């Protein structure tokens, strides 16, 4: 299998879906002539032309709203936010229009739109550019939220997201764009709402989404090598819809769970999962469900400190040791 970068896996997904469906368009700031701020859309403007790959002005509310309106008439826009942090400017369009228009029309309208871009901290760009919005957006019925951690997942999920007939919030990660992973040459799709057990284990379930799933994998290796603990890593991949069964199945086997995420702790995704586990797997649990999130303060700039603000493998090891 070819090893390709996460960004190129996404790029392949766009190209394949644009070939397949003439209604798929890419829009956003710098996505066309500049090849994308993070080169995710590299080469697509040359290949598909200005009608299919369109640079927009710096008007997040305006162009995200334009994409939503176009999707109501059957266009399938894939909208890039240079950073998901900038979604705050387009919040009204996403939350009041994309998410609600189907409901308020009694099911007469749907919005087949994908809104995508990086949503992560850890790059020393300060608090305004380091937000993780997945918990906010997953809180809104009508929206779907996806956070792939690997090149393989990114491509398969993006293809499904583009074909999905509901608004999908697709959260990437600037720290992962250059990470290589195996991506098959033949076509494949990954359904939204299906988790992936990225490492099988018996002693504890490390449940995570986004880049935190990779951090959990590193922690699992340390736990095995140094503490003789065999951890299972469950990567949700999709927050909403959620693969509740996969989480429960793992915890019923291991009887212990830690949730790891780069979200903030208060009402983060991990809070939802912990609540679900105490309700549905209470008798299976041998220890309280613990959570590790990004440290509860705005994203700090100072490079040395920001590393500590996000979950690190050793933070996970320490949490695990407290209940194993």
Partner 1 sequence: MASAAKAEQLDFAKTPINSKLSAQQKVRLLTEMVRIRRFETESLRQYQAKKMGGFLHLYNGQESVAVGCVSLMGDDDHVITAYRDHGHALAVGMTMNECMAELFGKVTGCSKGKGGSMHFFAPDKNYWGGHGIVAGQTPLGLGLAYALKYKGVKGAAMCFMGDGAVNQGCFYESLNMAALFDIPVIYIIENNGYSMGTSLARSSSFKSCLAERAEGFNIAWGQCNGTDIYEVRANVQTAIERAHNESKPTVLEIATYRYYGHSVADAKHTGGYRQKEEIEHYKQNHDPIQVFKRRLIEEGTLTEEKYEQLDEAAKAEAAAAAQFADESPIPSEESITQDVYFEVDRQTEAGRTGKHFFND
Binding residues vs partner 1 (CB under 8 A):
25, 51, 54, 56-57, 59, 61-75, 92-93, 96-97, 101-110, 112, 141-142, 144, 160, 164-166, 191-194, 238, 240-244, 272
Nearer of residues 165 and 322 to partner 1, judged by Cβ: 165
**Residue 148: CB partners within 8 Å, gap ≥ 6?**
154, 157, 158, 170, 172, 210, 237
CB 24 within 8 A of CB 17: yes
Nearest approach, Cβ of residue 224 and partner 1 (Å): 30
Nearer of residues 204 and 281 to partner 1, judged by Cβ: 281
Nearest approach, Cβ of residue 237 and partner 1 (Å): 10
Per DSSP, the residues of 266-299 read: TT-HHHHHHHHHHHHSGGG-SS--EEE-S-SSSP
Spell out the alpha helix ranges (H) of 74-114. Answer: 91-92, 101-104
CB 94 within 8 A of CB 64: yes
Catalytic residue (one of 17, 29, 60, 134): 60
CB atoms within 10 A of CB 5: 19
Nearer of residues 24 and 37 to partner 1, judged by Cβ: 24
Nearer of residues 100 and 123 to partner 1, judged by Cβ: 100
Catalytic residue (one of 17, 29, 80, 129): 129
Nearer of residues 104 and 321 to partner 1, judged by Cβ: 104
Joined tokens for residue 102: 């189907």
Nearest approach, Cβ of residue 245 and partner 1 (Å): 8
CB 290 within 8 A of CB 169: no
Alpha-carbon distances, residue 210 vs 75, 119, 132, 216, 272 (angstroms): 28, 9, 10, 10, 16
Nearer of residues 32 and 300 to partner 1, judged by Cβ: 32
CB 256 within 8 A of CB 285: yes
Nearest approach, Cβ of residue 123 and partner 1 (Å): 27
| Catalytic-residue membership of 129 | yes
By residue count, the chain amounts to 324
76 phi and psi, to 5 degrees?
Answer: -115, 80
Alpha-carbon distances, residue 81 vs 34, 88, 89, 153 (angstroms): 14, 11, 11, 20
By three-state DSSP, how is residue 134 classified? Answer: helix
Alpha-carbon distances, residue 21 vs 1, 17, 76, 113, 324 (angstroms): 26, 6, 9, 14, 51
Nearer of residues 280 and 312 to partner 1, judged by Cβ: 280
Nearest approach, Cβ of residue 65 and partner 1 (Å): 2
Nearest approach, Cβ of residue 169 and partner 1 (Å): 13
Nearest approach, Cβ of residue 324 and partner 1 (Å): 28
Q: Which residues are catalytic?
A: 60, 129
């Amino acid at each position: 299998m070819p090893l390709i970068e996460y960004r190129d896996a996404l790029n392949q997904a766009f190209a394949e879906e644009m070939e397949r469906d003439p209604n798929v368009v890419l829009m956003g700031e710098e996505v066309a002539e500049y090849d994308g701020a993070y080169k995710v859309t590299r080469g697509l403007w040359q290949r598909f032309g200005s009608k299919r790959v369109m640079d927009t002005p710096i008007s997040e509310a305006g162009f995200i709203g334009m994409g939503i309106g176009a999707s109501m008439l059957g266009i399938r826009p894939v909208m890039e936010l240079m950073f998901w942090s900038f979604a705050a400017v387009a919040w009204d369009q996403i939350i009041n229009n994309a998410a609600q228009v189907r409901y308020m029309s009694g099911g007469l309208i749907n919005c087949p739109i994908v809104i995508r871009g990086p949503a992560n901290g850890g790059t020393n760009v300060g608090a305004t550019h380091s937000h993780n919005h997945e918990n906010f957006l997953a809180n809104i019925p009508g929206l779907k939220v996806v956070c792939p951690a690997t090149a393989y997942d990114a491509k398969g999920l993006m293809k499904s997201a583009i074909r999905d007939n509901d608004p999908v919030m697709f959260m990437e990660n600037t720290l992962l764009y250059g990470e290589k992973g195996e991506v098959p040459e033949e076509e494949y799709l990954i359904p939204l709402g299906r988790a992936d057990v990225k490492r099988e284990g018996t002693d504890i379930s490390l449940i995570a989404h986004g880049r935190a799933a990779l951090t959990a994998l590193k922690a699992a290796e340390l736990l095995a090598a140094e503490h003789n603990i065999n951890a299972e890593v469950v990567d949700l991949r999709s927050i909403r819809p959620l693969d509740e069964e996969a989480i429960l199945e793992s915890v019923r086997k291991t009887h212990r769970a830690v949730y790891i995420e780069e979200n903030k702790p208060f009402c983060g995704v991990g809070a939802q999962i912990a609540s679900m586990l105490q309700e549905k797997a209470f008798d299976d649990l041998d220890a309280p469900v613990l959570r590790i999130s990004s440290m509860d303060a705005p994203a700090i700039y100072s490079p040395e400190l920001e590393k500590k603000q996000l979950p690190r493998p050793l933070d996970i090891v320490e949490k695990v040791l407290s209940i194993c």
